[in-house]
């Protein structure tokens, strides 16, 4: 299995996260409060994004590789 490539872009006021050039996640830059939390379970790996209006965007990943790649990108925000 080849290693995945991760990319973070801010386009038209939206954060977009790409894995192997496929958009995996997108949310409005204005709504993003600037912090997130992660969940490390043995079967699923999750990231919760905190947005304006007490909204939480929850995402889960089956592989630790993708999860860690996205967390690394989020540390650059």
Domain ranges of the chain: 6-74
pLDDT at 1 over 70: no
Number of helices (H) and strands (E) in the chain: give both, helices first.
Answer: 1, 6
pLDDT at 18 over 70: yes
Average pLDDT score, the chain: 84
Judge if pTM exceeds 0.75: no
CB 56 within 8 A of CB 75: no
Residue 71 φ then ψ, to 5° = -60, -40
DSSP, collapsed to helix, strand or coil, labels residue 71 as: helix
pLDDT at 51 over 80: yes
Per-residue model confidence as pLDDT tens digits over 23-33: 888 888 888 88
DSSP, collapsed to helix, strand or coil, labels residue 52 as: coil
Q: Give residue 3's pLDDT.
A: 63
């Amino acid at each position: 299995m080849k290693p995945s490539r991760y990319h973070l872009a801010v386009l038209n006021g939206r954060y977009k996260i790409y894995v192997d050039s496929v958009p995996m996640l997108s949310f409005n830059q204005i709504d993003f409060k600037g912090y997130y939390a992660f969940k490390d379970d043995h079967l699923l790996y999750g990231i919760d994004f905190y947005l304006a209006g007490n909204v939480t965007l929850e995402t889960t990943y089956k592989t630790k590789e993708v999860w860690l790649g996205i967390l690394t990108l989020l540390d650059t925000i």
